[in-house]
Amino acid sequence: MGGIQDMFRIGKDVSVHRGEWRVHASAVDDIRIIEDSLVWLCGDGVTISTKKEKSTLGAPMYTISANMTPKQTMFSLGRLERVSIEGILDSGLESRIDEDKYLHLRIDLVALSRGKGEVTLDRDTMVAKGRFKLEVYPGQSAYEVARSIFEGLISK
CA separation for the pair 82, 121 (Å, rounded):
16
- Looking at residues 38-43, what average pLDDT do you find? 96
- Looking at residues 102-111, what average pLDDT do you find? 97
- Domain spans of the chain, in order of start: 16-154
Contact 25, 61 (CB under 8 A): yes
CA atoms within 13 A on the CB side of 58: 0
Report the percent of the chain where pLDDT is more than 70. Answer: 90
The confidence band for 2, taking pLDDT boundaries of 50, 70 and 90, is very low
CA separation for the pair 23, 50 (Å, rounded):
9
Average pLDDT along the chain? 89
Residue 80 has pLDDT above 80, yes or no: yes
Q: How many CB atoms lie within 10 A of CB 2?
A: 6
- Looking at residues 64-88, what average pLDDT do you find? 95
The confidence band for 120, taking pLDDT boundaries of 50, 70 and 90, is very high
Architecture of the domain made up of 16-154 = 2-Layer Sandwich (3.30)
Mention every residue, 6+ apart, whose C-beta is less than 8 A from residue 116. 81, 108
- Residue 13: what pLDDT? 59
Selected residue with higher pLDDT from 123 and 108: 108
Three-state DSSP class for 93?
Answer: helix
Selected residue with higher pLDDT from 85 and 55: 85
User: Model-level pTM?
Assistant: 0.86
- Residue 6: what pLDDT? 39
Residue 115 has pLDDT above 90, yes or no: yes
Three-state DSSP class for 132?
Answer: strand
CA atoms within 13 A on the CB side of 21: 32
